[in-house]
Chains A and B, each alone.
Chain A
Amino acid sequence: MAITMTSAAEQHVVKHLEHRAKGMGIRLGVRTTGCSGLSYVLEFVDDAAAEDQVFLCGDVKLIIDPKSLLYLDGTELDYVKEGLNEGFEFKNPNVKDECGCGESFHI
C-alpha cells in the first residue's frame, strides 16, 4: 500500500512548509461528510499519531492514518493549474464517482 505525489505537488508542499517554518510533513486523509459520502483532508502535521503511516516522497513526509489509507491506497497527490484556479488534487484510483465539485466522493 502506498501514496505518492507528483513533482509539482512536492514543490508546492516544500514551499508552504518552508513558509510556515514548522511542521514535519502533510497529512492526507478522508472523512465522512459531504454530498456524496467522503471528503479529502489535506493538512500540515506538527505531531504524527502513533498509528499513522508515513510515506517519504522526496524530502517530504506524507502522513496518513490507517483507516484513510484504505480509501486512498494508490493515490497520487498532484498540483494543478486550471486557468486562474490552482491547488492540490487527489488522483485516487478507488473513486467510483464524485460530486460535480470534486470536493467529496464515493467508493
Chain B
Amino acid sequence: MALLQISEPGQSPQPHQRKHAVGIDLGTTNSLVATVRSGMAEVLADEQGRELLPSVAHYTSMGVSCVGHEAAEHNVSDPLNTLASVKRLMGRGLVDVKSFGDQLPYEFAADDGGMPKIKTMAGLVSPIQVSAEILRKLAGRAEIAFDSMLDGAVITVPAYFDEAQRQATKDAATLAGIKVLRLLNEPTAAAIAYGLDQDQDQERIIAIYDLGGGTFDISILRLSKGVFEVLATGGDSALGGDDFDHAIADWLRRQIGMGENLDPIEQRTLLETAKSAKEELTVAEQAELDVFDWQGTITRPIMHSLIDDLIDKTLRACKRSLRDAGLNTASISNVILVGGSTRTPRVGEKVAELFGREPLCNLDPDQVVAMGAALQAEVLVGNKSGDDMLLLDVIPLSLGVETMGGLIEKIIHRNTTIPVAKAQEFTTFKDGQTAMAIHILQGERELASDCRSLARFDLRGIPPMVAGAAKIRVAYQVDADGLLSVSARELTSNVESRIEVKPSYGLGEEEITNMLQDSFSNAREDMQARALREQQVEADRMIEDLLAAIYKDGDALLDSEERRCLKVAIEELRELRETTKEHRPLARQIESVAKASEEFAARRMDASIRSALAGQSLDEIDKG
C-alpha cells in the first residue's frame, strides 16, 4: 500500500512516479538515514524506534554476521572481528593506516594492489566493504519505510575528505547497490538543513561547529548565489564528548578515593555513571550519584571545571580556522551546532561567547547532517522542480599536471565550483618525442614534489615532430561528486589516452590542512623555487639546442675561435645551472649565451633559407 505525502502546488507525482531518495550521514561512530515527507526532512528509525545506527559490523568465519547495535555488542568479547570507526581508514594507504595502530585494535595487511585490509575470521576485509554493510543496512531500513526500491541517495563526507576518501565512499555505496546522487560535504548539509541556502541574495559566512563522540570538526563556509565554498577546515580527530565522560569519570574516581589502576569493569561502571550524569546535567543544575557504595552530587559548576579545558581546545581550533580563512568572528553570519556532544549546554554557551552570537541549535544536532542530505536528495532525484536549488560545491585543493623541471601547472584552481571541465595545451620538449608522461597532482605548492601525486599515465604514439610542434590537449574533468578524470590528446594525430583517478592511497586530514597552510607559509620560497626551475629548464633547453646546432652546422658556419667561445659560454652556463640557488644570475647567463650565439643563429637561418630556395624559380616563390 503506497501512502501519500503532501506535494507542493501542481507537483503531485504521477502514480508510481514518485522517486524515493534518502540522505545518509555515514559517520565514524554512528550513521543515520533521512528522507523528505510532505516537504519536511525526517530521520527514519528502525523497527525498535532507534534512529542512530552504530557504524559497526561484526565478522565471523561465515562472513559478516550483523551490523549496527547487535554488532556493537561484540565490541568487548570479540574486538578483532568487530569493525568500528572504519571511516578513519577510508581511502587511506597502508602507511597511514599503520600510524593509527594505537587508536584501533585491528591487524592490517595489504592486498595485491597495496590497499589496506583488516584481518578478520572472515578473511581480509576492506574499510570499503564495512562501510558498504552499514550503507546496505540503512538503505534496507529506507526501503521498508517506502515499501519500494530506493532511487538514489546523497551521502555526506567531511569537508576535508580528499579525492581518495571520496572515491572510497562512493565505491562503498556502489558495492551496497546504492545509486549515489551526490556526495555532499557534512557542514554544507547542516547549512541546508537550516535552510540557509534558500536566501540566495545575501552572501554569508557560516561556521559549523561539529563535536561528535570522538572527533571535532570546525568548517568555515561561504555561501554566495547558491554556491557553498569551503574557506577553511580544522579540528581534532581525537577530541569529543567521550573525553568529557573520561574527565568526569576521573573526578568521580578521585572523589570515591579509588586508585588509578582500575579493572575494566570498574572503569566501565565509572564511565557509564559519568555519561549519565553529563546527560542529566544538560537539563538539571545538579545530578545525584550513587556508585560503588558512594553517594554524592555533581553540579554544573563542577562539571564545567572538568570540561572547560577540553572545550577551550575546540575554541582554539575555531580561531585557527578563522585565521586561515583571513576572517574574524564578526564576519560570521551564522553558527551551527552539529554532533551529539553539543547537547552539553556549556558547549553552546562557550561557542556563543567566542562568536558573539547565539548558535543555531533547534534541530537535533545528531540528525541535522542527514536531514540536509535528504533535502538535497529530494531535489536531485527530481521530486522538486529543477530550478528550486542546484547546490554546488567547490574542489578543496587545486588539480594540476607536472611540467618540465618538476613544476606544477594548475589546470583547475582550488575553490572552483564543480562539476567543471578545463583543458590546457602542452607541447613536446624534444625533437622526435613520441611519448609524454602525464603526472596528475593535487595541491597548492609550486613544486611537484611538494604536492600530492594522484596518478600517472603515458600518452604514446605522438608522431615524431620537432620540439614544440606537437599540440597535446590535457583535459581535466571533475564530476559533481568531486571525482576526477583526465585525458590527453595529440591534436594532429588524435591519439588519446585517459585515466579515471582512483588513487590507491590517501592523506591524513591533518596533512590536507597542512598542505594548505604550507602553501601560504612557503609562498615566497615556492615562488623562488619555481623561478629557479624555470630558468634551469630554459638553460637545459638552450644547452641542448646549441650543442645540436654546433654538431650539425658548426663545421660549416663557425670558425674555430667562434666555436671555442660558444663552447666556453655553454660550459659556464652548465656549471652555473648546477650550482646556483638563485634564478637571476642564471637568467643573466642564459641571456649572455643567447647574445653570444645570435650571430651563429642568424647564419643558420640564412643557410636554411638558401637551401630552401635553391632550385626554385622566382615564380614558384611568388606563388608560395
List chain A positions with a Cβ less than 8 A from chain B. Answer: 12-13, 15-16, 19-20, 26-27, 29, 31, 33-35, 39-46, 80, 82-90, 99, 101-104
Contact = CB atoms under 8 A, between A and B. Distances in A.
A64 to B, nearest CB: 14
Contact of B12 (A13, A43, A45, A46): A43
Contacts of A44: 6-9, 39
A43 B4 contact: no
Interface of B: 1-12, 14-16, 37-40, 44-47, 141, 144-147
B6 A88 contact: yes
A103 B16 contact: yes
A27 B15 CA distance: 17
User: DSSP majority for the B interface?
Assistant: loop
A39 B4 CA distance: 11
Contacts of A90: 4
Contacts of A45: 9
A27 B16 CA distance: 20
Nearest to B14: A33
Contacts of B39: 16, 19-20, 44
A20 B45 CA distance: 23
7 contacts: A27-B9, A43-B9, A83-B145, A84-B46, A85-B147, A87-B3, A99-B15
7 nearest CB pairs, A to B: A87-B3, A103-B15, A34-B15, A84-B145, A104-B15, A39-B15, A41-B12
Contacts of A27: 9
Contacts of A40: 4, 12
Contacts, number: 94
B9 A34 contact: no
A10 to B, nearest CB: 13
A82 B141 CA distance: 13
Nearest to A99: B15
A43 B11 contact: yes
Nearest to A34: B15
Contacts of A13: 6
B5 A88 contact: yes
Nearest to B143: A84
Given A35-B16, A39-B15, A19 B40 contact: yes
Given A83-B144, A84-B141, A16 B6 contact: yes
A35 B4 CA distance: 17
Nearest to B142: A84
A68 B9 CA distance: 16
Contacts of B12: 29, 31, 40-43
A45 to B, nearest CB: 6
B4 A87 contact: yes
A12 B45 CA distance: 18
A82 B146 CA distance: 10
Nearest to A46: B9
A15 B526 CA distance: 58
